[in-house]
Structure 1
């Protein structure tokens, strides 16, 4: 069963999102194989689906940290310029 996930602005993935992606991986793998998957194949597809969600979450966090780093750098440069009387 495939369920659309909602686009959440939060930094972490919910268990529902992770489960949905994992289920889609299992279903896609089963359809590609054209047969019922064994336990190892199902577990592997679940792990890959969960890893996809974890990687996407880490990428969102990384982008936000990069934006914060640029803001802090810009503030530091502006403070130094003001301290030395440039503006």
Structure 2
């Protein structure tokens, strides 16, 4: 599915569980350019809502840096591809 969305000129939004979010980011690093920008949003609409933004590689590194941070439900927001990269 990720490969089929690689050339989309729209923002991509994925809803992911804490058990799969790191693996999904790892696959995104392989399928998309690792410097493509993403935002990882955790616990939306809740008291401890949090956002992490950066390249796919940076956000992936954050996700593996401390397993205790991977709790709650996540949204992964991927920036659209640049027209020049198509």
Relative to the length of structure 1, the TM-score reads 0.25
Structure holding more helix per residue = 1
Q: Which structure exhibits the higher relative contact order, with contacts defined as CA atoms closer than 8 Å and separated by 6 or more residues?
A: 2
Which of structures 1 and 2 has the bigger CA Rg?
A: 1
Relative to the length of structure 2, the TM-score reads 0.25
Structure holding more strand per residue = 2
